[in-house]
Amino acid sequence: MKYPILTPEAVRKSVARLPRVDLAHLPTPFEEVPRFAEKLGGVRVFIKRDDCTGLLFGGNKTRHNEFLLADALRQGADVIVWGAGVQSNNCRQTAAACAKLGLECHLYLTRANHDADVQGNLLLDYLAGAKVEIVDLPMGPEMNALLKAKAEELRAAGRRPYYWEPTSGRPIAAVGYVLCLAEIADDIREHGLHPSAIYISSAGGTGAGMALGQVILGLSCPVRSICPIRWPWKVREDLAEVANQTAALMNLPHRLAAEDVHTTEEYIGAGYGAVTPEGWEAMDLLARTEGIMLDPVYTAKAMAALIDDVRRHRIKAGETVIFVHTGGTPAVFAYRDELMERHAHR
């Protein structure tokens, strides 16, 4: 089915009636990285700097939180209940947003993928005033059940907690990444580019918003979501479902099928959070050529995919690619030992 193509301005208009709080520095910068690109040989690379969204070291979740926390305020919440891994960028940005909005923030952080050394994101959670409890649970359904139970406990004690189930929260969060793609469409036009692909680290709301944005804005280049984690479900189907709920929230007729979503699990390596040689190479190269830091868990693996596509000639000399830097950089401090080990052998 043919859907209407919207201009970036029309996309912004369709979002204007949704509750939103102002948290991020937008639009984020869009910059060419020629010294990095030269090392890859003959391609042009531009980076959308969503690591510069501003709030407490930035990142993609601040775009999500503009809509999620507006929903919380609309519901009259006085405390946010949230959680993930101890080095969660999401939780760090949520703690910061709560501080800015005067909301209490209760975080439940699991040691499932990293030790609980008070460094990087975890350190920032404490410093931003979140109430932190360390737990030992796998991420996914068990963690979600714990958060829900904690929210119910607070409600029973007379508080007004906000906790979002993945099913209800991700479509709201994804609106922020439809808007990010509208910014990128403006960047593309201003720079007169014809990109071959856009790369982003995601297996969730971020990628769903980008995939929906591509269809709404009628961009011809694919958005490649490079998964940082292997979920026990079909990610393309799941992201298409999230994208469709987002379109419904935006009152738009556009609907996606799984084939409209481009994902790969090829660059995860040993697992979520494990540093890969290719990810390390990407971090090392971008830092040394451009002074831009990637994180080992998300963006390094997405950049490894971009580099691999150039080396395998899926992206050819003379072509242009866009990389969305979704942040995560405070994690480098928590990954000091792994990173310095690789640094010593570079």
Residue 88 is among the residues annotated as catalytic for this protein: yes
Q: Which residue has the tokens 């890969």?
A: 276
Q: Quick one: tokens of 262?
A: 């481009």
We find the least distance from the C-beta atom of residue 189 to ligand PLP, in angstroms, to be 25
Nearest in space to 93 (alpha carbons), one of 121, 114, 132: 121
* Out of 14, 28, 60, 87, the residue judged to bind ligand PLP by CB under 6 A: 60
DSSP structure class, residue 273:
T
Does 238 bind ligand PLP (CB under 6 A)? Our answer is no
* Out of 176, 195, 205, 330, the residue judged to bind ligand PLP by CB under 6 A: 205
Instruction: Give the DSSP per-residue string, 74-115.
Output: HTT-SEEEEEEETT-HHHHHHHHHHHHHT-EEEEEEE-SSS-
Listed ranges 153-161, 196-204, 212-220, 313-321: which one lies at the site for ligand PLP (CB under 6 A): 196-204
d(CA 96, CA 80): 12
Nearer to ligand PLP, 60 or 320 (CB): 60
# binding residues, ligand PLP (CB under 6 A): 17
List the interface residues with ligand PLP, window 306-345 (CB under 6 A).
326-328
* Out of 203, 242, 307, 339, the residue judged to bind ligand PLP by CB under 6 A: 203
We find the least distance from the C-beta atom of residue 14 to ligand PLP, in angstroms, to be 21
Does 202 bind ligand PLP (CB under 6 A)? Our answer is yes
* Out of 14, 53, 90, 94, the residue judged to bind ligand PLP by CB under 6 A: 90
Does 66 bind ligand PLP (CB under 6 A)? Our answer is no
Does 171 bind ligand PLP (CB under 6 A)? Our answer is no
* Out of 58, 120, 195, 207, the residue judged to bind ligand PLP by CB under 6 A: 207
Does 273 bind ligand PLP (CB under 6 A)? Our answer is no
d(CA 73, CA 162): 9
d(CA 225, CA 221): 13
Q: Which residues contact 272 (CB under 8 A, 6 or more apart)?
A: 113, 139, 228, 229, 230, 297
Does 82 bind ligand PLP (CB under 6 A)? Our answer is no
Peptide bond into 27 cis (omega under 30): yes
d(CA 260, CA 239): 10
Residues forming contacts to ligand PLP in the complex (CB under 6 A) are 59-60, 89-90, 201-207, 295, 298-299, 326-328
